[in-house]
Structure 1
Amino acid sequence: MSVTDELELASPSALVNKVTVAIRLACLYAGKNVAIENAIKELVPTLDAFLTRRGRAAILGEHGLAYVNGRLIRGKTNAGWLKDWNDLLERYGLGGIFFSGVWSEEHVRGLLDVFVAATAEKGDARAQVLERVGQAVTAPAVIRLFTPEQAAAYVREEEEGHLDTRSLAAFYYARLVALAEASGKAVVTQGNPDLYTRLSQQALLKLLGHIDSRAFEHQLLLLTARRHPEELQAYAVHCANVTVYSLLIGRLLGFNENELLRLGYAALYHDVGRARPGTPDKPNAHVEDGLILCLKGRASGPANRARLIVAREHHIKSDNFMRRHRPPHVLSTIVSLAEAYDLLENGLADQPPLGPRGALAALAAKGRFEQPWLDLLRDALGTYPRGSCVLVPGGGAAVVVDGGA
């Protein structure tokens, strides 16, 4: 199965539609029918693909709209599957359904039986569904039913679907900076790099829902031209910038959502060793400090393994630090390139900023990165990165000041 097929299979609208169809058919035919079995067989791989990529599926309805994991799913109000989903919720007095864990066909049948029983009996349908669902759906599948009040509260946590592209990019960029800064403070005060890892992964997942829009990418790139006089804030801004560049490069390489999540997470924490208090005794001491912090951390899973690898290897390409016999991991190379570019573009305490064009030229002159990597970075930034001087039709000249072109 191709990445495109996987994305289509795991799309939020497909998931909402197939959950709705399965429940409606089960209630219509009282639980057993060829159409129901077909609906179950279609729902299980869709649900499995979505949970594999996202870890959870909170499917909610409010005011005729549908939300998945807090994000508005686009569709015309009262049209097709969207109307069917909200009609279903209203019928049972629910606000939504939360899926997680691992689901099989038997687990789905158990869930459908709950709705069938509530349909057949008189009384409060919502109370009957809520009472039975815990016994009908067992581990490793996890189910939770939301009341309308709970769904409304969940939806209002995130209303970014109503923001324009510029505001949306600013919102997510500010969140990356805030999480990097908070993580740095946690390292300073508690020696703990894991305090905000869950929030960081959630923020990255939501950002990835928008990063396939070139207009959104342009606005993110515009925000990376930021420096701050305070050391911790400068550290946080640098980590956010490296995360943005890394994700844009990873997307061009065809990374799927899980791979982009690991890349973005590793990029956000790549310099975690710099947050430790004290003046380093030798160059790149932060690499060793970051490695120690990641090894001591209790967070586990693929994203944290990626963080550990990148924390150790992200200076191999730029200055040969901690080089071993094997080449660095591809994630480390991406983060290393993004970091080198950001430091050149925005400058250091003892080095003035070179701007996008100057930074690209300096990277090419140093020869640390092979040409295909530099080409990827140029493609991520746009043919004419912010700061470029270009000739326009009619003989005039212009400076690119907003995003990349």
Structure 2
Amino acid sequence: MSSDPWGRVDETGTVYVRTADGEQVVGSWAAGSPEEALAYFERKYEGLVVEIGLLEKRVQTTDLSAKDAQTAIDHLREQVDAHHAVGDLAALRERLDKLVKTVEARREERKAQRAKQSDEARKAKEDLVTEAEQLAQSDQWRAAGERLRALVDTWKGLPRLDRKSDDELWHRFSHARSAFSKRRKAHFAQLDAQREEARRTKERLVAEAEALSGSTDWGPTAARYRELMSEWKAAGRAQREHEDDLWNRFRGAQDVFFAARSSVFAERDAEQSENLKLKEELAEEAEKLLPISDLKSARAAFRSINERWEAIGHVPRDARPKVEGRMHAVERALQEAEETEWRRTNPEARARAEGLTGQLQAAVDKLRAQIEQARAQGNNAKADKLERELEGRQALLDQALKGLQEFGG
């Protein structure tokens, strides 16, 4: 008979393993010595130890599923419970029980992790849907379109939820993209229609601009070109392939007209500059008539100067007020001299002036007498009132006397 701390072999070759519940039969051995029998079943025990150790490592270090891990544990437990090995089977059961708890903990951990990932995925997809629905109302067609495409890629990278939730969120997401695409398509269709209308309008404006390019009716044509430019700006842009060509034709027609006008105006400006020199010389000649001493000869000289003035053409617009003002000043001086002469030599006017002066002098003398009387009677209020009236009459008298002096006396 042979034995060790965990097992023994009896005389019949039966091998036993010691457990807390007593000895259990491991098997029979007839091929060799009892020591060989124990060694054989001890090796079986070591094999179980190795397998359990490998399974423990797999559970700790790999993504072995809880289901597969439990299957492996059950398989090893069957072998341990079959008592076909000699060793501390209770220790192996304890390790397997501990491994079951580890697997269960991993299962709960992974379940919690999946739940967390699911919540995160749901939140992420809800955020994508919310942003997509906001973008569906955007008029930033290029930026919003690019962002929606990026959201699709992000969606594809997220884990799936339960089928109902995933389908509902995807329906909203897809609907938002479709709504944006529909609005964008309608916008560009309308834009195409507007650009086609702009093209037809600009074709008409170009035709008129080209027809006007040879006009020599400078003022009205230039004004019409300004109106055409306003209409051009109001028409909006045509299609890109037409816009530049239409603009070049439109601008080219204007350039032809304005180049011709500039050439004519340059000649006119040169002529008007020469006219200005001539009129300045005449203005200087007229100014030499001042001050007027001989009205008759001054009038004749100014008439001659004015006839030559009228024969000269236009001068530059900005210089016109100054040079004409010089002539008008001489003309006004002549008119004032004529009026003075007429008043001096008009007997009726002189008589009227003398009569008015006499009346005013009499009124002034009367008021002075009334003031003296009022003062003598102590009626100062009446005297003060009469003095104010006297001031007015005296002013009129002084003016009348001055006018009378112009008649030479």
User: TM-score of the superposition, structure 1-length normalised?
Assistant: 0.18
Which is bigger in relative contact order (C-alpha 8 A, separation at least 6)? Answer: 1
Q: Which has the larger radius of gyration?
A: 2
Structure with the largest fraction of helix: 2
User: TM-score of the superposition, structure 2-length normalised?
Assistant: 0.18
